Amino acid sequence: MDVVRQQPRSEWASPLQLLLTTVVIAIFVITFIVQAFQIPSESMENTLLIGDYLLVDKLRYGAGSVWDRIMPYRSVHRGDIIVFHYPVNPAEHFVKRVVGVPGDHLRLINHQVYVNEAPLQESYTRYSSHLREPFRDDFPKIDMPVPGLEGSWWLQMKKLVEDGQLIVPEGEYFVLGDNRDESLDSRYWGFVPLANIVGRPLVIYWSMKKGPDDLPMAPTAGDKLFHFAYAMTHVFQMTRWNRTFRVVN
C-alpha cells in the first residue's frame, strides 16, 4: 500500500522564503536602484544607437527630499546624459544630454552651443543634415514658430530670452540630443524639471543590430511571441558584441 507522506514544513518553507526574498530584492532594485530602458530613436547617435538596451542608475540624482542627506546623490552636471519623463507627456521616457543647468545663459550660433558666452566643447555631437534651419541651428529664435514647436514653450521662451540668450530657471535643465539635426529636444518643448529626471544611464547591457520594428513580419499582427522567439533563436547574429556591456558617457 502506497502511503503519501506529508512534506515537513521545513522542507518547503525554505525554498519559498528564498523565492520571496529574491522577488522582494528584485522589486527593490528595479524600483529604487536601476531600471532598464531601450533606445527607440536616432536622436542620441552615435553615443546611443537604436537597439541599445540600457541600465539606468536611479540613485544618481536627488530630488530635494530628506533622503538627499542619506543616499549617495549628486547634482545634475552639464554634459550628463539623463533619462527623464517627457514633460509634454510624462508617460514617455526620453534620453538626452544636459547642456544647460539652472542660471546658465545659453544660445546656439551655427550649431555651436555657447553657455555663459563661452563655446561648449562637445566631441560627442553628430550633424546628419546639410540643410540649414535657423530655429534649430541658431537657437533661440523667438520670431518664428516652426513645425514641432510646442506653443506654450514658444510663449514661455519669449519671457526667458535676454540679449539673444535663453536663461535657464532654477530647478530646470536644458537638454539636447547628440544627433543635433535629428533630435526633438528642449529647443522644441522646453526645460526638464528636476522632478522628471529618472537617472543616468550606466551601461549598455545588450545591443541589437536591428530594432524590434525591423524583425520579420509576424504571422498575425502584433504577435510579440513570434518576435521574441525570433530574437532568442538569432541572438548571436543580432547582437552588437562591441557595444554590449559598454559604459555610457
| Residue positions counted in the chain | 249
Catalytic residue list contains 14: no
Cell numbers standing for residue 16? 519559498
Question: Active site residue: 14, 41, 43, 152, which one?
Answer: 43
Question: How far apart, in Å, are the Cα atoms of 17 and each of 10, 14, 27?
Answer: 11, 5, 15
Buried b (16+ CB within 10 A) or exposed e, 153-175: bbeebeebbeeebbbbeeebbbb
Q: Taking Cα atoms as reference points, which of 185, 223, 200 lies closest to residue 73?
A: 200
- The phi-psi region of residue 110 (left if phi > 0; otherwise alpha if psi is between -120 and 50; otherwise beta) is left
Question: Active site residue: 58, 96, 141, 186, which one?
Answer: 96
- 3-class secondary structure for 168-210? CCCCEEEEECCEHHHCCCHHHHCCEEHHHEEEEEEEEEEEECC
Backbone angles phi, psi at 230, to 5 degrees: -65, -45
Nearest-angstrom CA–CA distance, 47 and 137 = 20
Catalytic residue list contains 10: no
Backbone angles phi, psi at 151, to 5 degrees: -60, -45
Q: Is the dihedral of CA 242, 201, 111, 130 positive or negative?
A: positive
Positions annotated as catalytic residues are 43, 96
